[in-house]
Amino acid sequence: MSLTTLSAAELGRLLSRRDVAAREVAQAYLDAIQRKDPTLGAYLTVDPERTLAEADVAQSKIDAGDAGPLGGVPVAIKDNISTADQRTTCASKVLKGYIPPFDATVCTRLRDAGLVGLGKVNLDEFAMGTSCENSAFQLTHNPWDPDRSPGGSSGGSSAAVAGGIAPLALGSDTGGSIRMPASLCGVVGFKPTYGRVSRYGLVAFGSSLDQIGPFGRNVEDAALLAAAISGHDPRDSTSLARPPIATDALRSGRLHGIRLALPLELMSDAAEPGVLDSVRAACAKLEAEGATVEEVSTPSVRYGVTTYYLIAPSEASSNLARFDGIRYGSQVDGSGHVGTVAATRGKLFGHEVKARIMIGTYALSAGYYDAYYVRAQQVRALMAQEFETLFDRFDAVISPTSPVVAFRLGELSRDPLALKLLDTCTIPANMGGFPAISIPCGLSDGLPVGLQLMSPVMSDEKLLQLAWAAEQVLGSLDLPLG
């Protein structure tokens, strides 16, 4: 039995029965990281001593009966989530070597549930990207084909789970940054309802859009991790006063009688034929189990990318103003205070981050605020209303997660618009704060295709049940874990 090929839920059951020790599981993954990560490039920080010490603490919780269903199971953490006394760089030279003095709420909850941190994984700088090629430190490779992108911005998270060097991972999703890489790597990625998981300790990109969520090899794993990190947090003003996501009824999910809306705008020629074929085949399988799939029109979707790339950069331009080289992080000396700030930001921010800051600053500037930012917020409200109206008639919206399968590294780097258009299917969930999940639904040219399910605000439990039921019908992929 290879511990690194088991699901997180299976590991949790073995650990709870004392059939295996938490330190043994942690060491198996540390060995796998040492062996495989030089090729994958998923991890930015690994501290074996810290991981093994956390495993010993987790074992004490298991022995005392205080651990959750994932007690002793390792988890990788996206490097824009604050970890006390461990580097949190956001894959940016601005924060190279930065060590936070505090944990994000999700990290505290991981420890409380008995999970074990494996390390910090790569991302597009400050979570701004779709390919994980914008990291200041290294490229991350797709385990299905090392010449291809794992998706972004949470590419390190998806590659670690798909490649057998983490059973679980945390990512963040601002416009699809959990679901897109999950699709390209053939794993499950879940974005909960906005506010269902605390953002305290997440380095902010777009504050009205950001949401932390889980990666797993199957729906059960993702659901259990979502349950561990969710729930109200008074330190986050956007946190909903709701209990943690419940998983006790997960396996009660059924497809019979479920009504699914399939937006025609997301099944257009902009998607690869192989992706469309896989999604249509998946819909047919769900219908054979009693679900109803009806084609609908969602006209606002065509404006989603434009709207997102006004709102998110505007919020980023404000949020990233704090990275000035004065209070924390790296510093480039300049002439006086203003010169130092300008030199630090000019030389240490990457191209994509600087471009988005400038776009956001322009959209918020006098004379353009109403024409760009306010208009974008109006379209956002229209989009949210359009999907809320759909949810009056349907249980969920179904679509491709990504219009393409994993593309070759460097293939789209000179075409930033093409990269941004890859977010077309995922952006609506962030605009309305809806929960959404990507599950594998087949292969195209030997590469994974993701199926996205999106449902109303606060329907996380029902969405996970639906995804679990769909997974039973569609099956899972044989991930490249070896």
Q: Which residue pairs from 49-57 have beta carbons closer than 8 angstroms and sit at least 24 positions apart in sequence?
A: 50/86, 50/117, 51/26, 51/116, 51/117, 51/118, 51/119, 52/23, 52/26, 52/27, 54/26, 54/111, 54/116, 54/117, 55/21, 55/22, 55/23, 55/25, 55/26, 55/27, 55/116, 56/22, 56/23, 57/111
**Please, are residues 253 and 469 in contact by the beta-carbon 8 Å criterion?**
yes
Indicate which residue of 153, 157, 172, 455 is catalytic: 153
Q: How far apart are CA 237 and CA 435, in angstroms?
A: 19
Q: How far apart are CA 357 and CA 338, in angstroms?
A: 18
Indicate which residue of 135, 172, 177, 278 is catalytic: 177
Indicate which residue of 61, 78, 120, 191 is catalytic: 78
Phi, psi (rounded to 5 degrees) for 225: -70, -40
Q: How far apart are CA 370 and CA 305, in angstroms?
A: 19
Cis before residue 153, ω within 30 degrees of 0? yes
Smallest CA-to-CA distance from 452 within 469, 420, 429 is with 429
In 3-state terms, what secondary structure has residue 149?
coil
> Is 455 among the catalytic positions?
no
**Please, are residues 96 and 102 in contact by the beta-carbon 8 Å criterion?**
no
> Is 153 among the catalytic positions?
yes
Smallest CA-to-CA distance from 324 within 308, 311, 343 is with 343
**Please, are residues 441 and 253 in contact by the beta-carbon 8 Å criterion?**
no
Active-site amino acid positions: 78, 153, 177
